[in-house]
């Protein structure tokens, strides 16, 4: 803004000066007649050129000074250790053998005498006791026979007998099926849950399976 005001003041002063000069010339010409002259061309009005406004250029702030790197002292290599000398071997110490005490003469051992033989001892044979009378054997008891098996007439009579025979068997169905077959053929079922197979005769005891094992329970 200060630059513009100064510029305007200069232009105004220039115009005032030029106007005064023109006015003085006109007065002189009017007072003294002059021969007709060709009109002098007016000097061209020089318009002052307005200078280009340049915005102030901001200078960048100065960069902070860079500290130089601190000087690192050189690392000294480790000083080598002096070589260790091995210890000098000690000289062997020689010890003279200690003299053993003198030994006296050995006393001879007396000769061993064999033991005298012992005479054999004779023992007369002891007299055996006279044989006594023979002890009589107990009388043999006749074998006790169990109860006779109930008679079987039809296949229906075998069902309760086979149930009684096989009630303690581990495989009741297999036992009952074999018992029914033997009862139907031999018309007999042994009494009890085990044994007494001979009560029903050879028909019951000799009947076997395909693998030659006893079939009837």
Q: How many CB atoms lie within 10 A of CB 101?
A: 6
In a domain, 168, yes or no: yes
Q: Cα separation of 203 and 197, whole Å?
A: 10
The reported pLDDT for the residue numbered 139 is 60
In a domain, 102, yes or no: no
In a domain, 173, yes or no: yes
Q: Cα separation of 173 and 182, whole Å?
A: 14
Per residue in 25-63, pLDDT (tens digit) is: 654 454 544 455 555 656 555 555 555 656 666 776 777
Contacts of 176 (CB under 8 A, 6+ apart): 162, 163, 166
The reported pLDDT for the residue numbered 23 is 59
pTM (whole model) above 0.85: no
In a domain, 107, yes or no: no
In a domain, 10, yes or no: no
Per residue in 145-178, pLDDT (tens digit) is: 456 667 788 888 899 999 999 999 999 999 999 9
In a domain, 108, yes or no: no
In a domain, 194, yes or no: yes
- For the chain, what is the domain count? 1
In a domain, 169, yes or no: yes
Domain that holds residue 197: 155-205
Among 183, 147, 146, which residue's Cα sits nearest to residue 163?
183
């Amino acid at each position: 803004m200060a630059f513009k005001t100064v510029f305007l003041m200069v232009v105004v002063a220039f115009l005032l000066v030029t106007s005064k000069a023109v006015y003085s010339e006109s007065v002189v010409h009017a007072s003294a007649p002059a021969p007709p002259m060709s009109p002098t061309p007016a000097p061209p009005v020089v318009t002052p050129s307005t200078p280009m406004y340049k915005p102030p250029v901001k200078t960048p702030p100065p960069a902070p000074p860079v500290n130089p790197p601190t000087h690192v002292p050189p690392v000294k290599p480790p000083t080598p250790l002096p070589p260790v000398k091995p210890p000098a071997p000690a000289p062997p110490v020689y010890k003279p053998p200690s003299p053993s005490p003198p030994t006296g003469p050995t006393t001879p051992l007396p000769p061993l005498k064999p033991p005298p033989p012992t005479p054999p001892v004779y023992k007369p044979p002891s007299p055996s006791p006279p044989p006594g009378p023979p002890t009589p054997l107990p009388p043999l008891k006749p074998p006790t026979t169990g109860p006779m098996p109930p008679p079987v007439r039809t296949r229906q009579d075998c069902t309760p007998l086979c149930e009684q025979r096989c009630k303690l068997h581990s495989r009741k169905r297999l036992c009952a099926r074999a018992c029914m077959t033997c009862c139907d053929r031999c018309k007999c079922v042994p009494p009890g849950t085990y044994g007494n197979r001979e009560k029903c005769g050879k028909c019951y005891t000799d009947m076997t399976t395909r693998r030659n094992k006893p079939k009837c329970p």
